[in-house]
Homo-oligomer: A and B are copies of this chain.
Amino acid sequence: MPAVEPTIHDRAESLVQRTGARVTRQRVEVLAVLLAAPRALTHHEIEKRASRSRGIDRVTVYRVLEWLTSHNLAHKIAGDDRTWRFKAAGDKPELGHDHAHFMCNDCGDVICLDEVRAARDIRLPTGYRPQEVELTVKGLCAECIPGRRHS
C-alpha cells in the first residue's frame, strides 16, 4: 500500500529543490527521515528507515548525508561512540547550529536543547581563535533511567 505521508515528504522535497541541485529520490527520502525523527539519528537508523520502500545503498546514504550537511539542511553531531548522528536543520537553513545537545550515556540518543545557548565569551590562550561553541549535557534520558522498564 503506497500510503504516502504527504506533508513531511513534500517539505523535504521542497527543501532539496530550494538548493538548486538535483532532486533525487534518495535525497528527499533521507531528508524526510530526518525531518520525521524527534532526535538525531545514526547512519544505521537512517539507512534502515529510508529503505522501507525501496533500498538506498549504504554509501549513497553517507553521501546524501554529507550533501545535506554541506547545504545546511542537516547537522552532523559527533557522539561518544564514534558514530555520527544527523538531525534535520529545520526550515531555516540560514540559521546556525548554536544550541545545546543532550546525549544519553546509556542509549546514545541525542536531542537538541533549543532554549539553551552556550556562553560565547570564553577566554582562550593567546593566538587561539574561537569559531563555534558546543555545549553537551550528558546523562540519562527518560527511557534509560533505572527503574523504568525498557519499552
Contacts and interface: CB of A to CB of B under 8 A. Distances in A.
Interface of A: 78-80, 82-84, 100, 102, 105, 111, 113, 115-116, 118-119, 122-142, 145
Copies of the chain in the assembly: 2
Q: Is the interface of A mostly helix, strand, loop or mixed?
A: strand
Contact of A82 (B78, B118, B125): B78
Contact of A128 (B78, B135, B142): B142
Nearest to A83: B82
A49 to B, nearest CB: 23
Nearest to A124: B102
Given A78-B79, A111-B125, A128-B142, 8 more contacts: A102-B125, A102-B128, A113-B123, A113-B124, A129-B140, A132-B139, A133-B136, A135-B136
A111 B125 CA distance: 10
A129 to B, nearest CB: 5
A141 B118 contact: no
